[in-house]
Amino acid sequence: MPSLDEEELFLPSTPGKFKDRSYTMHRQFHRCFTSTNSGSRYFSSTWGGIHWEKQVRTSAQIHRTNGFSVLVTGAAGFVGTHVSLALKKRGDGVVGLDNFNNYYDPSLKKDRKSLLNAQNIFIVEGDVNDAQLLAKLFDVVAFTHVMHLAAQAGVRYAIENPHSYVHSNIAGLVTLLEACKSSNPQPSIVWASSSSVYGLNEKVPFSESDRTDRPASLYAATKKAGEEITHTYNHIYGLSVTGLRFFTVYGPWGRPDMAYFSFTRNILHGKPITVYRGKNRVDLARDFTYIDDIVKGCVASLDTAKRSTGSGGKKRGPAQYRIFNLGNTSPGDCSDDGEHIGKAIES
């Protein structure tokens, strides 16, 4: 493996800040090779050692009867933070994984991490594409479930950063599934797909049985690919898989790139707001879903997930495979959002 010059950069699973290259004697400096359509890259992370393993095990400890030990990827993200807190509150063991990329201000993720740490949830700073890190985590903890929420989000961002979506949403998913199928016992998997897979469908409301073969964005295409990939691993390796098609999620600790944040920011600064319209200048509607409802759906999916049927990469029998829409069934007109926010600010 070629060496990296001190100034050479590496690619995390989403375009993000480059990790601190320093390490102590109790932490393992690890480089993992990965490949994308844009060419070969390296990413770095620091992990390992006796103290690190103790933190992982402690965070994964279960404190309720018949509880779960859950690996949450994207744990410092919007949904990941809320799901992790809900699981920990009821007594499940939770270990988080996040690469703290800078798709939006990393300080928000650091603040969420502090919130999780205060509840004794340990967050591993690492990349979901790091196969050796995942193997180590599964070696240290026999996770009963995986809640996979790590992904490159955003639709318009893909126009200038297409490879990051393939790297995170497809390659990262495959790397995680490889770790899960090789584990003994295999965990049950719940993961975040997206309502964007419905693409150019005009029939509303959407149903899980509607066609999803006409994506309207690269983000949607990667999520659709994820559904096909998870089905393949379910069929070949006996992994129990539940995919959740999230609709537009809002609430405390939300992503600052979401429309309601930008609307609020612009209104407070006396700036105009931009409302995008659809085909033939039709006002767009979004099925805005409060974060607490998303959390309930995520936790319920974990609770009802059946065990994987394989072990050590070998299938022992048919395994559960499910896909659910997760929304509020009442789309709201985006053109009304700015007006509602403005009135709320004035009051």
23 is annotated as an active-site residue: no
Indicate the DSSP class of residue 2: P
Give the three-state DSSP class for 67: coil
Phi, psi dihedrals of residue 153, rounded to the nearest 5°: -95, 175
CA atoms in the 13 A half-sphere facing the CB of 119: 23
Asked if residue 89 lies in contact with residue 96, where contact means CB atoms within 8 angstroms, the answer is: no
d(CA 319, CA 240): 5
CA separation (Å) from 51 to 26, 54, 72, 175, 213? 7, 5, 20, 26, 47
d(CA 71, CA 95): 5
The pair of three-digit structure tokens given for residue 165, joined into one six-digit string: 């979506």
Of 103, 219, 233, 237, the catalytic one is 219
> Given CA atoms 321, 327, 328, 333 in this order, what sign does their dihedral have?
negative
Residues annotated as part of the active site: 219
